[in-house]
């Protein structure tokens, strides 16, 4: 409902997607968007193959971005496409971007945690970076250094494994089938015959409605009270209690991205996207901090670690859970600002 209002409300301004008559139709707009993303996917793939291991990160990012956009469009505009074909491609794209994302995620998590340890410890930029750091007086700074070394060891191992898995994946016949599927998209999008003249906006509105519904279910009022101590609630639970409170936020993060891509596909002006971008960045930070907190807690379960190491990991875990809470606060601030902005109010048709 709100979604529909927004899209129709914006229509007269952009001049790109009037509701009647020249509304973007699958045949021209969706196919064009998918072709564009498929081409980008294939271009990044070629670049990734041709680059050295050191230079492969950027094309891998571009490849994943294109894969996510294709997957998003296949999902949002599913009724306009050959359902079996697109469901299958979407599942394979999810496998691919999941596999490619892992290496980057471990590297980013390591950076985040080592950065936090530096902030928490006055030992300077060398802390946690190997045995060359002289031991500090007092147990806790030694603990921070040891915690850093432990996290570095664990996440570097995980990252190396993810790297191998990604390389294997990119050489597999399963991957070649995905690339073939995307190549089909780049030349001819398998639209349903009756779909060619169908408007795209209602599908994008459906996504936005789902997003708004998911956001409405979030505890935004609580998140708007700073230092509500919610994110660390049950932070010492043996089970995944703190993580389960994150789930609806992660869900909104995915819907927000899906919405952003759907807006892209129907050609809504990028100014609108920039505002969504802020909300998306807050939720990315939410996800990153939540996963970093989990990594710190999990490192603390390593057998036979020193108490000082465990203490530092506890501080680190709590620090990242507060980052989670800070990200929720930031999200609600962006979201509420957006909600009260004039361009989001229903515009009565003249």
Give contact residues for its own copies (rule: CB under 8 A). Answer: 117, 119-122, 136-144, 226-227, 229, 232-239, 241, 297, 300-301, 305-319, 322-323, 325-326, 329
CB closer to its own copies out of 268 and 308: 308
CB closer to its own copies out of 96 and 334: 334
Residue 252 C-beta: closest distance to its own copies, Å: 19
CB closer to its own copies out of 101 and 117: 117
Where does residue 197 rank: exposed (0-12), middle (13-18), buried (19+ CB within 10 A)?
A: exposed
CB closer to its own copies out of 44 and 309: 309
Distances, alpha carbon 331 to alpha carbons 24, 223, 286, 344, in Å: 31, 9, 9, 17
- Specify whether the CB–CB gap between 312 and 117 falls below 8 A: yes
- Specify whether the CB–CB gap between 63 and 44 falls below 8 A: yes
Closest CA to 167 of 93, 100, 98: 100
User: Rounded to whole angstroms, how far apart are CA atoms 326 and 285?
Assistant: 9
Residue 321 C-beta: closest distance to its own copies, Å: 8
CB closer to its own copies out of 142 and 200: 142
Residue 322 C-beta: closest distance to its own copies, Å: 6
CB closer to its own copies out of 253 and 317: 317
User: Rounded to whole angstroms, how far apart are CA atoms 275 and 227?
Assistant: 25
Residue 304 C-beta: closest distance to its own copies, Å: 8
297 is written with which tokens? Answer: 């807690």
Q: Which residues contact 69 (CB under 8 A, 6 or more apart)?
A: 37, 261, 264
Residue 145 C-beta: closest distance to its own copies, Å: 9
CB closer to its own copies out of 21 and 303: 303
Q: For the range 145-148, what are the long-range contacts, defined as Cβ-Cβ under 8 Å and sequence gap of 24 or more?
A: 145/121, 146/305, 146/306, 146/308, 146/309, 146/312, 147/117, 147/296, 147/299, 147/309, 147/312, 147/313, 147/316, 148/113, 148/114, 148/117
Residue 19 C-beta: closest distance to its own copies, Å: 42
Residue 215 C-beta: closest distance to its own copies, Å: 20
């Amino acid at each position: 409902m709100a979604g529909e209002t927004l899209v129709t409300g914006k229509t007269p301004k952009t001049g790109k997607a009037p509701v009647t008559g020249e509304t973007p139709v699958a045949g021209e707009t969706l196919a064009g968007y998918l072709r564009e993303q498929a081409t980008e996917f294939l271009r990044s793939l070629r670049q990734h193959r041709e680059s050295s291991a050191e230079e492969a990160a950027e094309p891998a990012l571009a490849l994943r971005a294109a894969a996510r956009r294709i997957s998003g469009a296949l999902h949002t505009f599913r009724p306009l496409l050959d359902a079996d074909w697109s469901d299958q491609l979407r599942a394979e794209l999810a496998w691919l971007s999941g596999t490619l994302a892992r290496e980057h995620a471990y590297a980013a998590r390591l950076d985040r945690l080592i950065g936090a340890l530096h902030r928490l410890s006055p030992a300077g930029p060398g802390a946690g970076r190997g045995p060359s750091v002289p031991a500090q007086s007092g147990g806790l700074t030694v603990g921070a250094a040891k915690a850093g070394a432990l996290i570095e060891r664990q996440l570097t191992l995980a990252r190396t494994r993810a790297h191998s898995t990604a390389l294997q994946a990119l050489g597999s016949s399963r991957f070649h089938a995905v690339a073939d599927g995307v190549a089909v998209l780049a030349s001819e999008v398998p639209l349903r015959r009756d779909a060619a003249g169908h408007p795209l906006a209602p599908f994008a509105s459906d996504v936005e409605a789902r997003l708004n519904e998911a956001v409405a279910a979030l505890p935004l009022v609580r998140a708007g009270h700073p230092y509500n101590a919610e994110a660390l609630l049950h932070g010492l639970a043996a089970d995944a209690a703190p993580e389960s409170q994150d789930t609806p936020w992660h869900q909104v993060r995915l819907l927000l991205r899906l919405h952003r891509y759907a807006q892209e596909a129907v050609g809504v002006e990028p100014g609108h996207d920039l505002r969504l971008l802020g909300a998306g960045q807050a939720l990315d930070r939410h996800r990153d901090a939540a996963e970093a907190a989990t990594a710190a807690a999990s490192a603390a379960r390593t057998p036979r670690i020193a108490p000082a190491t465990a203490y530092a990991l506890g501080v680190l875990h709590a620090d990242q859970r507060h980052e989670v809470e800070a990200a929720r606060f930031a999200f609600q601030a962006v979201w509420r600002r957006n909600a009260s902005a004039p361009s989001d109010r229903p515009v009565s048709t003249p």
